Amino acid sequence: MKDLFLLAVIVLTANFIRAQEFVFPMHFEDALGNRDTVFIGYDPNGSRDVILPEFGEMDIAHIPFDSVFDVRITNQADISAGETTEELFHTKKKIILPPASFYFWPRANIDIHALHWPVKASWDPALFNNLQHEGTLFASVHPMGWWDVIWYPVWWGDSNFDKVIMFENHEITFTPNYPENWQDYPDGESLVFYADDQDRPIATYFVVFGDSTLITVGVSELHDGNYIKVFPNPAATQAWLQLPENMPFAQAQIELYSPTGRLLFNVQPTSQFHKIEVAHLPKGLYLVRLWDGERWYMEKLFVR
């Protein structure tokens, strides 16, 4: 009877801690050899916004960062940007949603407190050497749009790298992405670092899951300032997207992305001029993308 009870407990526990579709460990080590590890993955039932105990996630937000070295996955950047109304969480493991298509790349935000920089991150590149994962990146800048197209201080950091392709590398040693005078940096101007409740700088990095299209799409394929126009820009209440007269509307698609890379809406245009309501949006830099049936084009939209 005791053995049957033990077996039942094992089965129930195995069912409760759901096996995620994909997960990998990422190891970190500071300049003095202090180490920490987080686990990042995705699953159709995952979430970037809340803790999911069924995947073995545990919220440790109530525990202060270690005074010397601590690495966590949090939603602090999303909260700072007003992109979520969920409660703050910190965890050592996070299972998010999988890539839905080549233009939606899910990410996990990794926060690091370290007294002794630089920090080394390492992983097993063999896990990413396949068509599904070969575009997966570790980045020090916010992965909104494409790094070679968009530059804006809210996404940019001061680290010694912007992104590294994980299947081509097994480690990277990097510096913090907050400026040396971080205490003088204007509040709300960055999504790549913040100060914790003990006034210590916390650097934010990003793991972005994606296939090869994440690293092969370039400026020439994405942006042509003469092809689409957004006006007025900046906009306070509404903006208009002007499309070419010969646009094949039956195949076209318009998308609007938030400052943290969240898809706000997609819609099929029906005329050369498409109105975008922005009065309800927080101030910031947004990304407008247009698919014409063959290529993607994009333009920046400032909301004031």
pLDDT tens-place string over residues 213-264:
665 544 444 444 456 888 998 899 999 998 887 778 888 899 887 765 677 8
The secondary element (H helix, E strand) that includes residue 78 is: helix 76-80
pLDDT tens-place string over residues 88-141:
999 999 999 887 643 456 889 999 999 999 999 999 999 999 878 888 999 998
Q: Which domains does the chain have, with CATH numbers?
A: 2-216 (no CATH), 219-303 (2.60.40.1220)
For the question of whether the overall pTM of this predicted structure is more than 0.85, the answer is: no
Residue 128 in tokens: 């990413």
Residue 259 in tokens: 């400052």
Q: How many CA atoms lie within 13 A of 61 on its CB side?
A: 12
Instruction: Say whether pLDDT at 2 is over 90.
Output: no
> ∠ CA 286-291-294 to the nearest 5 degrees?
150
Q: Decide: 286 and 257 in contact? Cβ < 8 Å.
A: yes
